[in-house]
């Protein structure tokens, strides 16, 4: 009888402890997708008539987003973050310097055999997102759709033109818009997520002209997004 009581008492303690551990492990105040890493394929759209993208252009993005759930189920939230990115664009818009002033020319001007022509921007990013997902406190693979807006501030820029006639390297080019912004969308399941960024304002400022016309090129970036808790 004493042995039975002892065993019953021990099982009761074990059950209570297991319940406590379970309640600790399940976090009903969880947040999702705090860090992100993204690789994109970059395009220029709304280019002047003689300008187009050429070789593969890439972008790399990394940052942190504060996830702030807004409903009881925590499947809707707002995300506000901070990140950095670099974006290169291979195209046939040639950036040169003439008497300390930036000049733009297109493929109608011959530089001989051009082997490389690209410009690169380095940005500080402020993403803002409205987030929907099918996650819960214990499920780490779920569907997600995050849509939002991204502000970016240009901190450094460079361009490189290599040809049989000239080799031109420029940095901190004043012709770029310092503030750039656009719409964002990320969607997917689990680790792999599709991402797109559509720029709303031109990459170059109002003083940048090609053949007397403003350069209205905007950024379109398509890629994959990886989220980390």
The confidence band for 9, taking pLDDT boundaries of 50, 70 and 90, is very low
- Closest C-alpha to 106, from 36, 201, 10, 208: 208
According to the model, what pLDDT value does residue 200 have?
A: 97
Q: Which residue has the tokens 């807004």?
A: 70
- In this prediction, residue 113 carries a pLDDT of 78
Question: How far is Cα 50 from Cα 129, in angstroms, rounded to an integer?
Answer: 36
Read off the DSSP letter of residue 176: B
The phi-psi region of residue 190 (left if phi > 0; otherwise alpha if psi is between -120 and 50; otherwise beta) is: left
Topology of the domain covering 32-228 = Porin (2.40.160)
Q: Which of 91, 102, 124 is nearest to 172 (CA)?
A: 102
Residue 38 CB neighbour total at 10 angstroms: 21
For residues 28 and 2, give the distance between their C-alpha atoms in angstroms, rounded to a whole number: 41
pTM, 2 dp: 0.83
Rounded CA separation 96/47 (Å): 18
Write out the two tokens for 161. 């033109």
Task: Give the angle 8-11-17 at the CA atoms, nearest 5°.
Answer: 145
Question: In a 10 Å sphere around its CB, with 0-12 CB exposed, 13-18 middle and 19+ buried, how is residue 6 labelled?
Answer: exposed
Q: Do residues 125 and 92 make contact, with C-beta atoms less than 8 angstroms apart?
A: no
Please provide the DSSP assignment of 58-100 as one string. EEEEEEEEEEEE-STTS-EEEEEEEEEEEEEEEBS-EEEEETT
Q: Which residue has the higher pLDDT, 181 or 55?
A: 181
* Residue range 142-171: mean pLDDT, rounded: 92
Question: What token pair was written down for 156?
Answer: 């450094």
Render pLDDT for 49-83 as a digit per residue (tens, 0 to 9).
Answer: 888 887 889 999 999 999 999 998 889 999 999 99
pLDDT per position as a tens digit, 121-134:
999 999 999 999 99
């Amino acid at each position: 009888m004493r042995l039975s009581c002892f065993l019953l008492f021990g099982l009761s303690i074990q059950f209570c402890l297991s319940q406590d551990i379970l309640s600790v492990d399940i976090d009903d105040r969880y947040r999702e997708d705090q860090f992100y890493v993204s690789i994109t394929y970059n395009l220029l759209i709304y280019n002047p008539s003689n300008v187009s993208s050429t070789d593969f252009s890439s972008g790399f993005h990394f940052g942190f987003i504060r996830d702030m759930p807004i409903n009881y189920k925590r499947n809707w939230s707002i995300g506000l973050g901070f990140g950095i990115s670099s974006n290169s664009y291979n195209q046939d818009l040639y950036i040169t310097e003439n008497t300390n002033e930036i000049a733009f020319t297109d493929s109608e001007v011959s530089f001989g055999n051009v082997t490389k022509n690209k410009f690169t921007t380095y940005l500080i990013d402020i993403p803002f997102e409205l987030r929907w997902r099918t996650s819960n406190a214990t499920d780490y693979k779920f569907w997600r759709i995050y849509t939002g807006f991204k502000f970016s501030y240009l901190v450094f820029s460079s361009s490189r033109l290599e040809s049989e006639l000239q080799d031109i390297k420029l940095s901190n080019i004043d012709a770029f818009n310092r503030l750039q912004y656009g719409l964002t969308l990320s969607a997917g399941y689990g680790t792999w997520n599709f991402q797109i960024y559509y720029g709303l304002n031109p990459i170059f400022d109002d003083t940048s002209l090609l053949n007397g016309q403003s350069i209205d090129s905007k950024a379109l970036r398509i890629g994959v997004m990886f989220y980390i808790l």
